[in-house]
Amino acid sequence: MKLLLVALGVLMILATVLPFLKKDEWWIRIFDFPRLQITLIIAVVFAAYLPFRGNSIADYGFLVALILCLTYQSYMMYPYTRLSPKQVQWSKKAAKDSSFSLLFANVLIENHNAARLKEIIKRADPDLILTAETDDWWREQLKEFDQTHPYVIAHPQDNSYGILLQSRLELINPQVKFLVQGDIPSIHTRVKLRSGMEVELRGLHPRPPVPEEDGRSTERDAELLVVGKEVKGKKDPIVVLGDLNDVAWSRTNNLFQDISGLLDPRIGRGFYHTFHARYPFIRFPLDHFFHSNHFRLMELRRLPYFGSDHFPVYIKLNYEPDAEKEQEELHADQSQKEEAEEKIDRVR
């Protein structure tokens, strides 16, 4: 039993230490994802090992290493607990003309439970609906929302990277772009709110760093950072959303936030795990909403299961000019800017 605990503990220590390496290989970056699971396993190993411990340096060194790893993993997840200060404040107004709602769902291309998703969308009644992994079948199934959401950007694909935006708010200069890879589309548009204010919107779904998709995270990271650099230079309100195939507490996510200056409404509110919808113990926060400091939050929630491996998510934001004074924009330091440029240069 002691040997088993040592083996499991050493594995968790390695899983904690490996992401410190600035390498893009999938077998390193994959350990960014299960921080919560690693933390729970470390806690169990530590408690179970105590009755077996001796007075040797090796025993105490092992326990100290477990404590250090437990502390680090907890530190990385802390911002996404209710103990942390909120990065985005609750709205102080109820102005319909300056608020808007968005629903995002990765439909899972082989999932055909469209009826359940349509029921969820109708109940949530968002102003904008963004769906990923949409092929021609899913485009046809969701076409009924074109009646209520007549502004549409559709780019269905059969490779699990199709994307679809349907909006009841006017879209200005909508475009589909391929930022890094020729088969990975993203949506770029301006959205006119009821007040007449225009908001920049980016809908993303980069390829994940897993062996069957991509053996490294380079392309995913570069796509996020290309968008981060682009939106940083804009003074207009901005929202970036989608299945980013990265977890909230990864190094790349933190780098994206600092490069872009965008805020994360989950900070101080919870994990909002969205994947994997079928397996409660294997869940990570993969689906994201980021926005500039022009907005305060009215609502944020995970929506019910509909057959996909992702849960849908819903957010409602309110544009409030005074929010900028209360919510400080994030900034990257010089080393972060250099790291971002290096990652982008690797795919050029």
Phi, psi for 23 (deg, rounded to 5): -120, 150
In a domain, 291, yes or no: yes
Same structural domain for residues 193 and 61? no
Residue partners of 201: CB distance under 8 A and separation at least 6: 128, 187, 188, 189, 190, 191, 238, 239, 240, 241
Give the global pTM. Answer: 0.94
Residues 215 and 154 in one domain: yes
CA distance 87 to 264: 7
Quote the number of domains for the chain: 2
- The alpha-helical segments, DSSP class H, found in 18-127 are 26-29, 35-49, 57-77, 114-124
Q: Which stretches in the chain have pLDDT values below 70? A: none
Instruction: Please tell me whether residues 201 and 246 are part of one structural domain.
Output: yes
Query: Quick check: is 91 in a domain?
Result: no
For the chain, the maximum distance between any two Cα atoms, rounded to a whole number of angstroms, is 72
In eight-state DSSP terms, residue 216 is B
Distance, CA of 63 to CA of 69 (rounded, Å): 10
pLDDT digits 0-9 by tens, 22-50: 889 999 999 999 999 999 999 999 999 99
Cα torsion 63, 65, 69, 71: sign:
positive
Query: What residues have CB less than 8 Å from 75, skipping those under 6 apart?
Result: none
> Per the omega criterion (within 30 degrees of 0), is the bond before 276 cis?
yes
Which CATH number belongs to the domain containing residue 249 in this structure? 3.60.10.10
Quick one: CA torsion of 25, 163, 316, 81, rounded to 10 degrees? Answer: -20
Tell me, yes or no, whether 70 and 109 share the same domain.
no
- Domain boundary residue, one of 80, 115, 146: 80
Residue 63 forms part of a structural domain: yes
Angle at CA 196, nearest 5°, toward 191 and 197? 60
If asked whether residues 196 and 299 sit together in one domain, one would say: yes
Do 299 and 181 have their domain in common? yes
Q: Same domain, yes or no, for 175 and 51?
A: no
pLDDT of residue 327: 92
pLDDT of residue 240: 98
- CA dist., res. 317 & res. 264, Å (int): 12
Structural domain that includes position 31: 2-80
Angle at 118 between CA 95 and CA 306, to 5 degrees: 110
Q: What is the pLDDT of residue 92?
A: 79
Report the pLDDT value the prediction gives residue 214, as an integer from 0 to 100. Answer: 80
Q: Cβ distance 127 to 148 under 8 Å?
A: no
For residue 244, count CB atoms less than 10 angstroms from its CB and return exposed for 0-12, middle for 13-18, buried for 19 or more.
Answer: buried
Q: For residue range 235-292, list pLDDT tens digits in order.
A: 899 999 999 999 999 999 999 999 999 999 999 999 999 999 999 999 999 999 999 9
pLDDT confidence of residue 55: 84
Do 64 and 100 lie in a common domain?
Answer: no
Same domain, 31 and 165: no
Q: Is residue 164 domain-shared with residue 310, that is, in the same domain? A: yes
**What integer pLDDT is reported at residue 83 of this predicted model?**
96
Q: Which of the listed residues 54, 80, 106 is the one where a domain comes to its end?
A: 80
217 and 182 belong to one structural domain: yes
Tokens at residue 240, please? 């970036």
Give the integer Cα–Cα distance in Å for 104 and 106. 7
Domain final residue, candidates 80, 113, 135:
80
Residues 169 and 45 in one domain: no
Contact 25, 12 (CB under 8 A): no
